[in-house]
Amino acid sequence: MITRDSIKRAAKNPGLVQSFSGVRAKFGQGPEIPDDLEALALAYGFCYAKNVLQGRQEAEILIGRDPRPTGESLAEALARGFLAGAAVQNCRLKIVNLDIITTPLIETAVRTLQPAGGVMITASHNPLTDNGFKFITGYSKPGDSDKQDAPPGALLSASRMGKIVSDVRELIESPEEFISAVERIDDGSFAHAFGNGEDHERRIKAERAYLDAIGEDWGIKPHCLKPLVFGPVVLDPNGGAACGIGARVLEHFGVRAIEVNAELGYPEHGIDTDNIDPASGKHMLIRTARAALRNGARFGIAFDYDADRGNMVLPGLDESAIIPPQKVATTNIALALTHRETLGEKRGKLAVVISDSTSGASAEVARMFGAEVFIVETGEINVVTKMHQLRAEGYDVPIGVEGANGGSIFGASTCRDGLQTAICAALADENPELADHWQKVLCRNNNSAGTCELRRLPDIVAAVPTYFNRVFRFEGPDISHSEIKSRMEEHFKHGIWQKISNKFDSYEFEDYEGTSRVKSRTGDESGGWRVAFYSKAGKSFIFARGSRTEAGIWRVIIDTPDASVGDALVEAGKAIYEAATKESGC
C-alpha cells in the first residue's frame, strides 16, 4: 500500500539520483523492488502522465527496459503511475509494452509510432543492483501551437525533466490525489491497458524504422539477405539489451557479426566496460580485444546494458588494443564528416556539437572539415537539443559527442548508439574511398599523418589527432556543487595559477548550462565547470562535474594538445578538487 511515509522515505534515499539524465537508485537483486522505491516510481509515472496527457482524450505511452532483474517490477510500477495520471486527466490510455529493448530502438519507436510519450527503464553502465528510468519526449497532440524544445524520441529536455522532478517533490508534500488515483487502478484495468508481454506488431514496426533511419544516414539499403561483405566484427553485449538485436542489425547492412557473452540477462563481466575488472585487475575491454583476435575480427565493440554506448577495441592481447573513449569519439567525427564530404551533398552550413567534457581533439578534427563547433553542458539531451536547434536554423549537423564516455550521436538519431559506431567503423575498414578522403583532409590541414598511407581501420584511428586526456573519479563530500565550484576557483586563482602560469599565456573560467555558455552560473549549479588555458600549442582545460547518474561521484578531466604540460595539469586538477572538498574550504 502506498503511503505518505513510503514516498518520503524514497525521496530521502541516499543513493537516489534525480536529474535531467533520469532517475536512478539501488533497487536490489530483484525481481521485486522495495516498497518505498515502488512508491517513487508510481509518483514519477503519475506526474509524467499528467504532464504529457493534459488535454488528450486518448493516448499511448511506450515502455521499454533493459534485462535487469528489477526491470519488470519497475515497469509495472511506472505503468500503474501512468494509468493513475491518465485517470485524473480523463484520458483513455494504452500502454505499449516493448519489453527488453535498446535505448536507440525505443527512441526510434517513439518517432515511428508517435505516442504521447515513453520511458526507458535502465541504469545504463551502473551495476545490476541499480536501476532507473529515462522519460522520452513524445508527439504533441494535434492543435498544439507550442514547439518542443527537443525532438520527438529524445530524452526530455532539462527544463521539462526539471518540471517533472519539481512536480514529484510537490506531490510528496501533498500526496492525497496521487494515492487516491493509484488505489483506483484495479488489476483488471491494469492488465487491459498494459497487455500481456511484448507488443510484437509495434516492436517489428519500430525495428524496421530503425533500419531505415540508419540506412538513410549512411547511404546503405538494409536487406535481410544482404551479402556479408564487411567484418567480421565481434559484439560483446554482455547479457544486455543488445543481445541478438545487435548482430541482426549489423547483418542487415552487410556486416558479419560474431557475438560473445550474449545470453540475455546474464553478464559475464562488469557492466561498465570502461573500467578495471576487480577479479583480474586488468581493463574490462581486454577480453573483448582478445575475442576479436581469436575470431579473426577487424575490431570489437562492447556495449553497456541498454546499448547506447559502444566501447571499441582492435584485435589484441593487452591494453594497447583498447581505443580510449575520446579517441573513438574523434574517429567517429572524422569518419562521419568524411562520409558526408564523399557524398558531395550540400545540406547547409556544417556544424558539430560537443559537450564541455569532450576532448579538444574532437573540435580540432571538426574544424579540419570547416565545421563550426558548438559546445554545450555535458548531458546527452543538451547535445541532442542543440543539434535540433541548429538544424532548425539551417545547419547540417551530422554528429555530436555527449561527453567523457565518447558517446556519439549520429545523423537523425536522438541518442548515443553503439551499433552506429560499429557500422561507421566497418564502412571505413572496407571502403578505400573513405580512407583516401580522410587522408586528403589531413594533408590539406598540414597534418603529418597525411603523409602515411591509410589502408584499414587501425591506420585511420592512428591518424586521428590525440590529446593528453585523463579522467579521474572521486567520491564527493556532502557539500553543495555551488560551494565546491566557488572553492575551486578561489584555490586556482590564489594558489595553482602561480605554479603553472609559466606554461600558458592566459586562462579563463568557463561555465556551460544546458545548450549555452553562460557568463556566470545561475540556479543550476550542477553543470560542468572548466578552467581553460591558452598557449601556442592550443587550448587545454581542467574540467570538474558532479555526476548526474551516480550519487556522490565527481569527475575531474584533464585535456591538452601539449603532452609536456599534461602531468602539471593533472597535479593542478587534483589539487583544486582536493582543496575544494575539504570541509574547511581553501
The per-residue pLDDT for 144 is: 60
Radius of gyration for the chain, computed over Cα atoms and rounded to the nearest angstrom: 24
CB 538 within 8 A of CB 504: no
163 versus 406: the higher-pLDDT residue is: 163
Read off the DSSP letter of residue 237: -
**CA 23 – CA 134 distance, rounded (Å):** 7
The per-residue pLDDT for 202 is: 86
Asked if the model's pLDDT at residue 466 lies above 50, the reply is: yes
Q: What is the band of 120 on the pLDDT scale with cuts at 50, 70, 90?
A: very high
2 versus 468: the higher-pLDDT residue is: 468
Looking at 9-23, 229-243, 323-337, which range is the least confident one? 9-23
**CA 300 – CA 422 distance, rounded (Å):** 8
Asked if the model's pLDDT at residue 143 lies above 60, the reply is: no
CB 79 within 8 A of CB 45: yes
pLDDT above 90 covers a percentage of the chain that reads 63
343-379: per-residue pLDDT in tens?
Answer: 776 678 999 999 999 999 999 999 999 999 999 998 8
Asked if the model's pLDDT at residue 271 lies above 50, the reply is: yes
Strands 299-303 and 230-236: parallel
The per-residue pLDDT for 112 is: 93
Computed from CA positions of residues 450, 455, 457, 462, in that sequence, does the dihedral angle turn out positive or negative?
negative
What is the pLDDT averaged over residues 526-550? 87
- Note the pTM of the prediction, 2 decimals: 0.91
Collapsing DSSP states into helix, strand and coil, what is residue 443? helix
C-alpha cell at 514: 544546458
Collapsing DSSP states into helix, strand and coil, what is residue 539? strand
**CA 429 – CA 455 distance, rounded (Å):** 8
Closest CA to 98 of 130, 62, 126: 62
Q: What is the band of 451 on the pLDDT scale with cuts at 50, 70, 90?
A: low
479 versus 70: the higher-pLDDT residue is: 70
**CA 90 – CA 73 distance, rounded (Å):** 26
Mean pLDDT of all residues belonging to the chain? 89
Looking at 40-49, 435-444, 487-496, which range is the least confident one? 435-444
Closest CA to 71 of 116, 124, 109: 124
Distance of CA 431 to the CA centre of its chain: 28
For 112, phi then psi, to 5°, come to -85, -45
Distance of CA 443 to the CA centre of its chain: 33
**CA 76 – CA 380 distance, rounded (Å):** 26
560-579: per-residue pLDDT in tens?
Answer: 999 999 999 999 999 999 99
Residue spans of alpha helices (H) in 263-407: 286-294, 325-343, 360-368, 380-392
In 101-140, beta strands by DSSP E? 117-121, 130-137
Highest mean pLDDT: which range of 190-199, 220-229, 484-493 = 484-493
Question: Dihedral (C-alpha) 107, 108, 111, 113: value to the nearest 10 degrees?
Answer: -100
Asked if the model's pLDDT at residue 51 lies above 90, the reply is: yes
CB 258 within 8 A of CB 234: yes
Q: What Cα–Cα distance (Å) separates residue 131 from each residue in 10, 31, 69, 135, 530?
A: 14, 12, 9, 14, 30
